[in-house]
């Protein structure tokens, strides 16, 4: 009979919980059964919510199962606990404190306030939570929406900060033939009711960090950065300097430039760099990608923290670039957008 492995789960606030994981059983499954506050959502390796760093012992992710974890993240010890089995007694560290996952996700209904086409392939969707419903979240996290009239569910990061609740703003990329995209293009009306659950995700603004922040966003990956910027602006006392590098494929695809401009006026410590892959150069943007727009000078403070959100290729390139510039991998937080439509 093979013995269970003892797995230590260590949270950023010093809370530690130990759970027994039977041979062949998943670490996340055992952790949740024991009541450990581990963030999770899809339980299939795609959302990245359950990421933790292996800091002792041996644990392996199930071979042959596709996951959103980058090879460089795995090489640094990161694991997705929903796909991980303990091979020996082992320990994991979480980049968030034990309170982050303590409440668990809530269910809510929301009404559509506004639907605004902000680029040929992007929509700003404003929802208002129904009276009596509430979803607390940290800037950077996401919710899961059920597309009205279907069973399909889609995840979107909040572009608004928790201070705007009960209003939640989302930026949705329109995809040809996508279930949510077709609904928003063809059928959605103000006051439609949408079911949502959340919050989810370990990608959120860390509290009390005074070091410079570098944010790199591709397309609707800008959403969680907007939420974080508004939360930083609302903080009392000294705020960190923030450099936001945002990019889209073409000038026509850009959006939220006025909103970013406003925030630059409100936040003297905010600098923005806008890039497009191709098209005509403009006064407000450069030709190139948002990763290359970050220079060695931008990353000269080795304590800088970075937030990356966009397609997997951009996130991978941004992580490599920032690590090459000397940022501590532990200070680089990332969320990949994987199209599900």
Residues at the site binding ligand FES, with contacts judged by CB under 6 A: 40-43, 45-50, 80, 82
DSSP class of residue 26?
A: B
Which one, 46 or 146, has the nearer CB to ligand FES? 46
Q: How far is the CB of 153 from ligand FES (least distance, A)?
A: 13
Which one, 81 or 194, has the nearer CB to ligand FES? 81
Which one, 39 or 231, has the nearer CB to ligand FES? 39
Which one, 42 or 179, has the nearer CB to ligand FES? 42
In degrees and rounded to multiples of 5, residue 94 shows phi and psi of: -105, 145
Residue recorded with tokens 């959103």: 68
d(CA 279, CA 256): 18
d(CA 45, CA 38): 14
Q: How far is the CB of 77 from ligand FES (least distance, A)?
A: 16
Q: How far is the CB of 165 from ligand FES (least distance, A)?
A: 24
Q: How far is the CB of 83 from ligand FES (least distance, A)?
A: 7
Which one, 46 or 241, has the nearer CB to ligand FES? 46
Q: How far is the CB of 65 from ligand FES (least distance, A)?
A: 10
Q: Which of 40, 17, 15 has the alpha carbon at shortest distance from 28? A: 40
d(CA 84, CA 318): 26
Q: How far is the CB of 44 from ligand FES (least distance, A)?
A: 6
226: exposed, middle or buried (Cβ count in 10 Å: 0-12, 13-18, 19+): buried
**DSSP strand pairing (153-157 vs 270-276):** unpaired
Q: How far is the CB of 170 from ligand FES (least distance, A)?
A: 19
Which one, 40 or 141, has the nearer CB to ligand FES? 40
b/e map 183-221, b = 16+ CB within 10 Å: bbeeebeeeeebebbbbbbbbbbbeeeeebbbbbbbbbb
Q: How far is the CB of 49 from ligand FES (least distance, A)?
A: 5
What are 62-69's contacts with CB under 8 Å, separation 24+?
A: 68/312, 68/336, 68/338, 69/45
Q: Which of 13, 17, 18, 15 has the alpha carbon at shortest distance from 4? A: 18
Which one, 41 or 304, has the nearer CB to ligand FES? 41
Edge-first strand listing for the sheet containing 51-56: 16-21, 5-10, 90-93, 51-56, 78-80
d(CA 301, CA 319): 16
| C-alpha 60 chain-centroid distance | 24
Which one, 200 or 285, has the nearer CB to ligand FES? 200
The two tokens of residue 279 are: 């098209």
Start-end of H helices in 184-256: 222-233
């Amino acid at each position: 009979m093979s013995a269970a492995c003892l797995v230590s789960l260590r949270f950023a606030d010093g809370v530690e919980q130990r759970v027994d994981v039977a041979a062949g059983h998943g670490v996340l499954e055992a952790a949740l059964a024991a009541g450990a506050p581990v963030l999770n959502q899809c339980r299939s390796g795609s959302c990245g919510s359950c990421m933790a760093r292996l800091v002792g012992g041996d644990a392996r992710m199930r071979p042959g199962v596709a996951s959103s974890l980058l090879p460089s993240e795995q090489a640094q010890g990161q694991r997705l606990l929903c796909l991980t089995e303990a091979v020996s007694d082992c320990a994991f560290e979480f980049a968030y404190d034990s309170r982050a996952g303590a409440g668990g996700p809530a269910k809510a209904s929301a009404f559509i306030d506004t639907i605004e086409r902000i680029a040929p392939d992007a929509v700003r969707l404003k929802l208002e939570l129904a009276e009596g419903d509430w979803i607390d979240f940290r800037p950077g996290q996401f919710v899961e929406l059920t597309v009205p009239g279907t069973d399909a569910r889609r995840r979107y990061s909040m572009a608004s900060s928790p201070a705007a609740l009960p209003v939640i703003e989302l930026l949705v990329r329109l995809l040809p033939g996508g279930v949510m995209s077709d609904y928003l293009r063809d059928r959605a009306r103000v006051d439609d009711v949408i079911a949502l659950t959340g919050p989810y995700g370990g990608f959120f603004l860390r509290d009390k960090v005074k070091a410079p922040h570098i944010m790199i966003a591709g397309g609707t990956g800008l959403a969680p950065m907007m939420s974080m910027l508004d939360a930083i602006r609302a903080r009392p006392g000294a705020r960190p300097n923030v450099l936001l590098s945002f990019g889209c494929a073409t000038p026509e695809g850009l959006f939220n430039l006025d909103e970013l401009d406003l925030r630059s006026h409100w936040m003297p410590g905010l600098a923005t760099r806008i890039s497009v892959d191709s098209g005509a150069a403009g006064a407000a943007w450069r030709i190139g990608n948002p990763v290359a727009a970050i220079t060695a000078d931008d990353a000269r403070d080795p304590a800088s923290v970075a937030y990356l959100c966009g397609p997997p290729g951009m996130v991978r390139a941004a992580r490599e670039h920032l690590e090459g510039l000397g940022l501590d991998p532990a200070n680089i937080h990332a969320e990949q957008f994987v199209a599900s439509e």
